[in-house]
Chains A and B, each alone.
Chain A
Amino acid sequence: MDVFGSFALLLAFVCAVYAFVGGIAAIVTRHPLLVKSTRQAGMATCCLIFFATFSLEYLFFTDNFSIAYVVSHSNRDLSSFYKIAALWSGMEGSLLFWSFLLAIYVLSVLVTYRNKNGELMPYVGVVMAGVQIFFLTLNNFVESPFKALAVPAADGVMNFVARADGNGLNPLLQYPEMVIHPPNLYSGYTGFTIPFAFALGALLARYPGEKWIHLTRKWTMIAWMFQSLGIMLGAHWAYAVLGWGGYWGWDPVENASLLPWLTGTAFLHSVMMQEKRGMMKVWNVWLVFCTFLLCILGTFLTRSGVVSSVHAFARSQTSSWFVGFMGVILLVCFGAYLKNRDYLKSENQLDSVISRESSFLFNNLLFVVACVAVLSGTLFPVFSEWFTGDRISVGAPYFNRVNIPIGLLILFLTGVGPLLAWRKTSTESLKRNFGWPLAIGIASGTIAFGFGFREYFSLVCLILCAFVATTILLEFYRGSKVIRARSGASFAASAIDLTMRNTRRYGGYVVHMGMVFVFIGLAGAAFNRNVQKDMQVGQTMQIGPYTMVMQGMDTKPERNYTGQRMLVEVLRDNKPLMMLYPEKRHFETTEETGTMVAIYSTLKEDLYVVYAGTSPDTQLPVLHAYLNPLVKWIWFGGVTVVFGTLVALLPNRRSVLVLAGAPQPATQPLPHAVPSSAALREGHD
């Protein structure tokens, strides 16, 4: 099966090269048969990558310990669930997995548009094949996952050997979320290849701007959704497994996943400027280019450990490949831009500071500044070493100081932007749209202040959350009211009807609402508390309203590890509430230990309990408890964001009411005429 897999990969490489070279020839000659054959070569590449990936999985499932990669990442006792995850637990497998996910996207694009957009698709196909060639080069010639296990014999000659059992999977990865987190994040990373291919293809082909923007909208949103979900799952995994009480540590790998998300989010907003007003064309093209570059950079940072490692830059061969590839992309993008920049001329100018355009402009500015700040902070050790010779890193205070104000400003724009009119907004409409939200925001701030809320940023965040949530709810309320007045349906049904008529707009509001929930959760972090104590049986520890009583220890042997648990009884206001079992797992095959956090989660706060090891002084188990307010809102917000994106991906249902009512306007006079409603106005999304 390893031979089959590596041949499939090699053949995939050949097909991709053909799709690339043949594609260029097809663009030059415009020969229809050549166009067709390169497209089919592209499809064949994808299928071959699928074969290779499945054969690597097969090797895992059949416990084939003659393959180096299987030996390093699996063992016989590993459950099948984690054998799937073992595929992407190392460098070689992750890169193959990248190719695999990219192949799914590429195949979908090639099949979806096989008979459409004839002028553009050959260009798109060439760009996609180019990206595939890079990853297939790594898969085949640099980091092959199918290498047989070989050890040097006494005479120095390498001998192939098969082991009886493997080294096992890293305990940190033996957690259900670790099985779904990387596929999501990688689907985000790879997914941005598609908008990139369309943007670059359209620029090269001088294809009309609105058209490629329209074509890529769906693909960008899918990639963005996976990226968001991947970041969320990563944060949740860090929270539930690493046991340090937080979910985001501004770690280089976390930052790497955030960077393309920031530019991708900026792009999702700024495309509307191009669609509605024909503005920001250059900006949009470069946002897509940068997003894709940041995806490659993210993959590179995740895999190479360039930043987190304390050693000098770029030791491994793979690093040089990645840096080279990013250089090539940048050159190609720049060349294409210089050659065809006249085609990206803006059709309109900014009219007013208080307008939709300017809110988008500032939204984009903030996202990009956040991205630059996070990027420079992440790469600071690398650059400081280049320029000064000293390797200097920056930590959480740097990232927080810059990104908290940016986050709050963006949150503010989330509320304001969608309600400003294009071109220029009148004072009257400002009053109508923002009167209530402002009042409710300020009222909730005052109440919180009255209750002794003194964390400045959290207070601002709370006011803004109330403000933004009110603007969104008002939008739904106003729109639903109009529909309800005419259809007589319930408010809920009207709201659903309203959403289905303009999924993009109302799905977008749902996403915004999700972000409000996330911000509520983030604001809670200012009030985190934690205590730690060596616990004898019967001893208690207090945090907030909770009392923890140490009841004892137990040991439970499992198939792949032995778990040692603290039995902790939790009382709330001195009434028994529940038992928590923070655990340490000892993995026999690897001599490694993993931590399992026990969490009691409510909307108000999380009680987060860790068995933190044995105290050096007393030899007693140490219990570390954290009280983290509002954390659950973050996960809830993440789910809402994904749900909103799915809604926005649905096709619009045409407004049935208007169509049905239109032929007989005289017999059914409508007291609330549709056009007067801001909510149903066309082109308002």
Chain B
Amino acid sequence: MKKQAKFGIGIGVIIGALGFLAWLGYGESKTYYHTIAELQTLKASARTQRMRVAGTVTAGSIRRLSGRVDFVLEGEGKTLPVSYIGSDPLPDTFVDKSQALVEGRPGPEGRFVAEHVQAKCASKYEAAPGGGDGAAASSTQRSSM
């Protein structure tokens, strides 16, 4: 066999295998971003997807109940009631009027069921260098390797 062909096959196998793994990982972890306004117009099939929704926490809306925390997010003139059911305590930055990013799925009766919450205080700071937005915000959990 020619040398070039050997190298070609080797390279092809490596890239093919890694591409397959990438596709698997993509399927496992893809998350949609939606705005609060978009969420209300989604088709039924799209409502079962895992998604992230961002908004501002309505002042005075945080209710700490047993086993969950309810609050309301607002953005673009719309509101979204959210129930956080995760086990981790909410981040320090999660307060009235903070910007929050919730991750989970839309539940029954228009209520969003969140498993993770990230929060950032309203524009008092810029993102940290080397830490960026992801770091400047605190969250209930981050996935790691």
Contacts and interface: CB of A to CB of B under 8 A. Distances in A.
A566 interface: no
Interface in B70-92: 87-90, 92
B130 A181 contact: yes
Counting contact residues on chain B (CB < 8 A from A), the size range is 35 or more
A256 B1 CA distance: 41
Contacts of B10: 353, 362
B3 A245 contact: no
A613 to B, nearest CB: 4
Nearest to B31: A393
A591 B138 CA distance: 15
Interface stretch (A12-20, A104-112, A395-403): A395-403
Contacts of A395: 29, 31, 143
Interface centre among B21, B129, B133 (most CB of A within 10 A): B129
A94 B129 contact: yes
A369 B11 CA distance: 11
B3 A352 contact: yes
Interface in A85-110: 88-91, 94
B132 A253 contact: yes
B30 A396 contact: no
Contact of B130 (A167, A234, A350, A406): A234
A595 B92 contact: yes
B32 A390 contact: yes
A582 interface: no
B134 A91 contact: no
A120 interface: no
A516 B136 CA distance: 32
Interface in A502-548: 522, 525, 532
B29 A396 contact: yes
B105 to A, nearest CB: 15
B43 interface: no
Given A310-B54, A401-B22, A593-B92, A248 B144 contact: yes
A572 B3 CA distance: 59
A308 B133 contact: yes
B141 to A, nearest CB: 6
Contacts of B125: 72, 170, 590
Main secondary structure, interface of B, reads: mixed
B127 A305 contact: yes
A401 to B, nearest CB: 4
Contact of A250 (B32, B90, B145): B145
B114 to A, nearest CB: 14
Contacts of B101: 310
B103 to A, nearest CB: 10
A614 B11 contact: no
A373 B92 contact: no
Contact of B18 (A246, A309, A406, A613): A406
Contacts of A392: 30-33
A476 interface: no
A177 to B, nearest CB: 10
Contacts of A238: 131, 135
A83 interface: no
Contacts of B4: 350
Contacts of B26: 394, 398
Contacts of A532: 87-88
Contacts of B56: none
Nearest to B99: A310
A649 B47 CA distance: 57
A393 B132 CA distance: 17
Given A395-B29, A396-B143, A622 B89 contact: yes
A423 B92 CA distance: 60
Contact of B52 (A181, A393, A525, A584): A393
A384 to B, nearest CB: 9
Interface of A: 72, 88-91, 94, 167, 170, 172-173, 178, 181-182, 185-186, 230, 234, 237-238, 242-254, 257, 301-303, 305, 308-311, 350-353, 358, 361-362, 365-366, 369, 373, 381, 390-402, 404-406, 409, 522, 525, 532, 584, 590-595, 612-617, 622, 624
22 contacts: A89-B128, A167-B124, A170-B128, A173-B131, A237-B131, A244-B142, A244-B144, A246-B144, A249-B142, A252-B134, A309-B133, A350-B3, A365-B11, A366-B14, A391-B32, A393-B33, A394-B29, A395-B29, A397-B143, A406-B18, A532-B88, A590-B125
Given A89-B128, A250-B144, A616-B89, 6 more contacts: A181-B130, A358-B7, A390-B32, A392-B33, A590-B121, A613-B90
